[in-house]
Every structure is written in structure tokens, then in C-alpha cells.
Amino acid sequence: VALVDEFQDTDPIQYEILHRIYAESEQPLILVGDPKQAIYSFRGADIYTYLQARDGAGGRRHTLDTNWRSTPDMVQAINSLFSFSPRPFYDHRIGFQTTDAAERARDQLTEQGRPGAALQIWRLPAEDGMSVETLRQSVAETTAAEIASLLSADDSRQLRIGARRLVGSDIAILVRTHTQASSLAMALAAKGIASVRSSQQSVYWSAEAEALERVLIALLEPHRETVLRAALATPLFGWSGAEIDRLNEDEPLQSQVTRQFFDHHQVWRSSGFMVMIRGLMTEFSMESRMLEYHDGERRLTNLYHLLELLQQHENSQRPGMEGLLKWFSQQRQSSAQDEERLLRLESDGDLVKIDTLHHSKGLEYGIVFCPYLWDESAEKRSDWPFLFHDPLDNDAAVLELGSTAMEQNRVYRQQENLAESIRLAYVALTRSRYRCYLPWGLTKQNRHGALCWLLHSRGTAQPPQQLSDWLSTAKALQPSDDEAQLSALAASAGAAISVSPLPEFEVAGQLSLALHPELIPARHFSKAVPKHQQVASFSSLIAGLPEDLPDHDGIEANDNTPAEFDSRLDVHGFPRGAGPGSCLHAILENLDFQQNDQAGLQQLVEEKLLLYGIDLQWREVVVQWMQVLLTTPLNETGLHLGQIPASQRLNEMAFQFPVSAFNTRQISQLAERTRFSHAPGLIAGLGGLGRDSVDGYLKGYIDLVFESQGQYFLADYKSNWLGMDYPAYHQQALTEAMASHHYPLQYVLYTLALHRYLRLRIPDYDYEKQFGGVFYLFLRGMRPQGEPGMGIVQERPPVEFINAMDEMIGEPP
């Protein structure tokens, strides 16, 4: 048996597939659908396909006639409203069959012990010069005031569902547009009522996404004054025009702001996106600022959602700073609407829900407000091309591009719009279990709409067959006609429908509701966290630092160098310290080693020099320096970086793996036992380090991993300054530098990490055959014509040592 649910939302292609499969088969095909709820034509759903399939079923049609959602009074109200016109859904092929409420025990909504009318129609005041916008605002304020009264803490109305009082989550407001949703949320907030909105919109289309993109651009390029100011103007920073203008006159302030952005840029590059953004939000009090807005929870929810998506992409793809921003910008332009993109609820507490009419289909709520079903605007006659269904051609879908029959085809389109608008009203009015509020009144703009048809198309004769006849009738309607029809409707429903003027409420203060539980102060944590439960790294092992960062040579400049040396425009005079080291790393990370584009290299170097605040006088020096690095042999085979294509390298490879009972003393013992103690600087480099064992995780970052002729190598860039010329980078000097900075421990950990990585990904992996070794590249000492090994430390720990390390570290218990 094949059962197709929601079949009223099918399209011709889907039905053709089903028909071909099952028309001649003996297998049962059950199509379940309600044509009265066909409201998704904008998604391609085709009600005419449903009607064709229904007619093709002949007498094999079955109808559900019991309503299990709503109370008997609510069912009676809907029965009366949609039986009021002989042709309630405009299209004569879609009729209305009354239903019965299921006979079962259920709670009732009572007010002072008595049930009220299930459908409460609020009659709007005659326009009499009142603008539609004023009327919309009045309806929003009245809706908010009624909800405040329903939830009032003084309990003057004694409203109960069964034995309990009402809470916000019993109430839903259904709207057409997000603009209407915002207006109602503001009206509720003015009454002290918190609300929550669901949406089918992508979070990437939100104002918060636009603001965040501007901020990320400024963080990526903090030297660019225009993008920096654009970031400050976003709600995330909240700077006014006057405050931004101050930057033109206040140079210290300009320098301070630039430095703040530059510092966060450095954190992003070294520690990752989430560490950076949390620090930025804390420094600039972004969360508290956003919560000052009336829809602050909505804004903050969107921001958290976006940050989570960015973090997920960074963790899974490792795109780097530029790549992450590029990906985010692409998502902002995408029309995709997969689940992870959709706006999330601000809260799952007992809050009033604001939902769109389309999204509410299939849902149910205790009390429903439909404040804007009366507010319909006619389609502009200039709107074309448009899609319509040709009744002269078996309701075939036709795209009108400007034919001679366009005016008649526009009438067909208007008939379809009216019919779907009625179906949308039906969906909205049938969502409630207990009560529905419906403002209504004739305006100049809504006489072509759904409610006008439902109330005024009845009479002794059949409803008008031609749309033009109906529009002429509707245009001539007077307020007295409306009052008469509303009275007749209420009389037909007994006590299930009431009609009253739009209520007027006295101005009251904010509603005092316990919308959130009382916060309990956090207990103070006084115990020490054992180190064996923490994440260890090369940095923490050598200096007790809390976490490892990509090693960008945080070696401070030597202030004792001769003054004339600082003026030399060569690799030895290039600025020293963490910032310049990070700049060189960034260039190498983004450089295509095999490119021959001189202009592209110059642009990359200039961009990074500006980014790290280094004078552009160094541009040509660094350009030539990069060319030297790419052509310097790394070993006796002549291997050099310029031979490595982008497809065979990984930049800033992050790793993290579990460790158990790990300490540096054991590494020394393993080195002695496995004949690796002779490695230059290893034992000396391990001396004096912390002896505490580590149980938990070991993490780090490898500057470069690459493959050449079937072997895998790792390389680490070192911008350390060892002297005023190339001879200062001879092997003995490099050995001493390696030992003094504990680099042997670093490459041992990196080798183990890469060994484990390759073992998991390469079938029949063999360390002896496939691990090529380690290169420590002291960038200031490398040159093609130098003596062999100048500026380069090459090492390859023996397999016995690495296997012993692997076994020693093991898995945590």
C-alpha cells in the first residue's frame, strides 16, 4: 500500500509519477489531502492537480467528518462561518462539509465559570478618514491589550483552561508577514509580554547576519578605515554617526580602536574564530547592548545561531580566516532553506507565540488571534509575467508573458488568488482549540478579499459567477450591510460566535508576569582542577600556558642590536617579534608555492604587511625573500618548497588526541632506550621542563604538511633572529636555538600526531617507507646558494622511538 499524505500540495509532475506507477497496477494507492488547506502555490503546489486526481477516483472517495482538535463551540463557529456562503471557497469544485466535534472528555476554556463565544469577531471602526496604517496599529495595540487581560495577574476575569490559569504559551498570533509579526511583538513588549516567533526564513538573511559580516570584514582587514567604521555603525557596536565622526578629530581614539580590532585579528588567526568572537563580544558588551532592544532576545538568538554555524564550518573544513568569511558571504547570498539555516525560537518558555499563517498549517493552539486577515491588498495590474491556470485548457498551468489575452488571463489569476486567500483564512481560523479572535471591517482595500467573500457572497441567488460582478457588488457595500451580515452570522451560530466593536482598553502599565524562573546565584567553585583532566600542548609543557596556539614565533626583538642594523632593508633587518613572525606565516600559508604570478605575490605581500602594521618599504624585500624560500633545497635530493602543489599540502594542520600518563621525563627515557638521545638538542631541550603527568588530551598545530614522491613531511617555519648575517644560521647555532626553545619536544609531538593521522588514512601505512621526516625552516638563514643545511634543521625520529611514544601515550582510561 502506498499512502501519500498532504496530497493537496502535490504538483503535476509528482502526480504523473504516481499515476504511471499505480494506474495499471493492482497495488492500492491512497491519496490523503484537504483541498480547503491548499495554500502553497508559491512553492509549486497545484490544487488543480489534486482536483483532477480526486475526480479520477470516481466513487472511491472518503471523508473524515470528526474534529478531534477543537471544542464543540469552536467547531460550530467554523461550521457556521463556512456554511454562510453557498460557495465558500469560490471554486465550486471545493465545497464545505460540516464536521462534528469528537465525543471525548476535554478541558474547557471558561471565564468566571462560563464558556465564552468560541469565535469573537471585533468589528473595526469605519475608516472615516482613518488611514489603514493607523487601523493596523490600533488592531495591534488592542490585540496586545486583550492578551494582557487574559494573562492578568489580578485574575479579574477568572479565565481557566480546566482548573489551571492561562499562560503565554496557550496563545498564538497568526500573521501574514514578518513586518506584522514585528509590529505585534513591539505591542506586546509595550505591555510587558514576552513573545517568541517561529519562521521559515534563513538566519543568513537576518539583519544580524549583515551586521556580523561587516564586523568580520573589519576584523580581517583592520587597517582599512572604511570597513572599520562600517563595523562600528552596526547594532553590534552601536556607534552613532557623531561618535564615528569623532574618529576624524580624535587621533588617539582612532589608534585605540584600530589596535583593538588588530588585537582581535591576531587572536582569530592564532586561536580560532570562537575564541576571538567571545573575547570581542565581552570587550564591547555586545550581548547586553542587544538585549536593550525591544526584540533583543530575537537578535541575540540570531547572533548565537550564526556564530554556531561559523564555528561548525571552521571545525569541519579548516578554511582559514579568509575562507571562513568567503563561506559566510556565500551563505548570505544563498536561497537554500535547509533546517539548520531556519531562524530558531528565541525561547522555549511559556511565551506568546507569533507565527505566520503558512507556517501554522498542521499546528494547533489554545487561543488564536488573527489580527490581520482583514488586511488584504489587491494585486497590482502591472505585475507580470504571472502564472495562471487556463480553465479553457483543462486548468493547465500557463505563464503569461504579454499575450493579447493577458487581461482575461489576469482575471483567471485574480480568481485563483481569491480562492487561495479563502483557503488561507480557513487554515488560520481552524488552528484553535478553544477560542479565536477575528477583527473585521470593510475598508477600501479589502473588498476583493477572503472575509468579504465569506460574509457577503450569500443571498437568495447563487453567488456571482463572474469575478467582475462580485467586485462590483463588493465595491457598493456599505457599513450597514456589513453589520447586518455579521449579525446574521452570529445568529446562525447560536452562542458560538459573538460580534462586538473593537475593544477600547484603559492605558495600563506593563504586565508583571513571571516569564522566567528566578535566577539562583551560581555557587563558587573553590577546588583545584587536576592537571590530568586538562588539555595539554607544547606551550603548556614548556611554559605552563593554558593552551597551545599556532606557533608564530613569539620571540621578542633584541633591543641590543646596533642602531645601524635596524635600517638595513634585508631579511636580517626585517622587524622581529610575534607580529612580524605571524605576518611571514600568513604569507606562506596563503602563497601558492608553484605560482609564477609576480603581481599576485606582490599583492599578497602588500596585503599582509598592511594587515600586520609593517611598513610597505619591506614589500620588495619580502617578495624576494619568498622567492628565495621557494627555491632553497631542503635536503640532499634537491627537494624545495616550489615543487609542492597546493593539492599536496596542508596548512596549519590542527591535531588533538587523547593521552594517558604522559610526561617529558618519560620522553627522555624513551630517547635513551631507542637510540634517539643523540638527536641534536633533544635531551637538553627536555631538561628543566615540568614533570607533571598529563591525562587527557594533547593538541597543537603544524605549520605545513606535504607529500613528495610518496613520502609525507612536516615543516615548521621559524622567523627567529639569530644574527646579523647568514653565517649566524650555521648548524651549531641552529642546534642551540632548537634546544633553548625546546623545539625537539615540539617536533616529537608533531611527528607522533602526523604518524597517527597517516596511519588512520593510508591503507597499509608504513612509517619507515612513507614518513619522510621533519624540517625546521629558519627563514632568515635560508638561501639557495648557501652551504648545505644553512638555516634548515632536518630530523627523522626512528620508528622504534615513535612506536614507543605511541604506546606510552596510549588511550585515556
Question: What pLDDT was estimated at residue 697?
Answer: 74
User: Which residue is it, cell 471523508?
Assistant: 63
Across residues 257-275, what is the average pLDDT? 90
pLDDT of residue 374: 95
Average pLDDT (254-278) is: 90
Query: What nine digits make up the cell of 116?
Result: 465564552
Reduced to 3 states (helix: H, G, I; strand: E, B; else coil), residue 680 is coil
CATH number of 535-809: 3.90.320.10
Q: Is the pLDDT of residue 461 over 80?
A: no
Identify the sign of the CA torsion 624, 626, 629, 632.
Answer: negative
pLDDT, tens digit (0-9, with 9 covering 90-100), for 624-659: 999 999 999 999 999 999 999 999 999 988 888 777
User: How confident is the model over 405-422, as pLDDT tens digits?
Assistant: 998 999 999 999 999 999
Grade residue 517 by pLDDT with cuts at 50, 70 and 90. very low
Q: Does domain 113-198+348-501 correspond to CATH entry 3.40.50.300?
A: yes
> Looking at the predicted structure, is the pLDDT value of residue 616 above 50?
yes
Ranking 400-404, 533-537, 701-705 by mean pLDDT, the lowest is 533-537
Rounded to the nearest integer, the mean pLDDT of the chain is 85
Mean local confidence (pLDDT), 17-43? 90
748 and 716 in contact (C-beta within 8 Å)?
Answer: no
Higher pLDDT, 69 or 686: 69
pLDDT digits (tens, 9 = 90+) for 423-444: 999 999 999 999 999 999 999 8
Q: Is it the case that residue 258 has pLDDT exceeding 60?
A: yes
Residue 195's pLDDT is 85
Say whether pLDDT at 29 is over 50. yes
Give ∠ CA 765-769-772 in degrees, rounded to 5. 105
Cis ω for the linkage preceding 680 (within 30 of 0): no
pLDDT confidence of residue 809: 78
Q: How far is it, in rounded angstroms, from Cα 458 to Cα 442?
A: 16
564: burial class by Cβ within 10 Å (0-12, 13-18, 19+)? exposed
Domains 113-198+348-501 and 535-809 share a fold: no
The predicted model scores a pTM of 0.56
Over residues 766-793, the pLDDT tens digits come to 999 999 999 999 999 998 887 777 899 9
Question: Looking at domain 203-341, what is its CATH homologous superfamily?
Answer: PCRA; domain 4 (1.10.486.10)
C-alpha cell at 803: 612506536
Q: Which pLDDT score, from 0 to 100, does residue 345 have?
A: 55
Q: Using one digit for the tens of pLDDT, what is the confidence trace for 194-247?
A: 888 776 567 888 889 999 999 999 999 888 888 999 999 999 999 999 999 998
Q: Which of the pair, 482 or 333, is modelled with greater confidence? A: 482
- Known catalytic residues are 716
CA angle 589/725/722 to nearest 5° reads 65
DSSP code, position 175 = E
Q: What ranges do the domains of the chain cover?
A: 1-65, 113-198+348-501, 203-341, 535-809
- Residues 10-28, mean pLDDT to the nearest whole number: 89
pLDDT of residue 514: 42
Q: Of the ranges 103-112, 548-557, 575-584, 699-708, which one carries the lowest mean pLDDT score?
A: 548-557
Angle, helices 225-232/251-271, rounded to nearest 10 degrees: 90
Q: How much is the pLDDT for 699?
A: 81
Is residue 278's pLDDT more than 50? yes
Range with lowest mean pLDDT among 97-106, 378-387, 619-628 = 378-387
Phi-psi region of 744 (alpha: psi -120 to 50; beta: other; left: phi over 0): alpha
Say what the pLDDT of residue 692 is: 59
- Output the pLDDT for position 353: 92
Answer whether residue 562 shows pLDDT above 70: no
* Cβ pair 751, 797 in contact under 8 A: yes
**Longest Cα separation, the chain:** 109
* Assigned C-alpha cell, 100: 462534528
How does pLDDT run across 184-199, given as a tens digit for each residue? 999 998 898 888 877 6
Cell of 694: 598529563
* Of 359, 403, 22, residue with least CA distance to 197: 359
329-364 residue pLDDT tens: 988 887 765 656 565 555 556 789 999 898 889 899
Q: What is the DSSP string of 738-767?
A: HHHTTHHHHHHHHHHHHHHHHHHHSTT--H
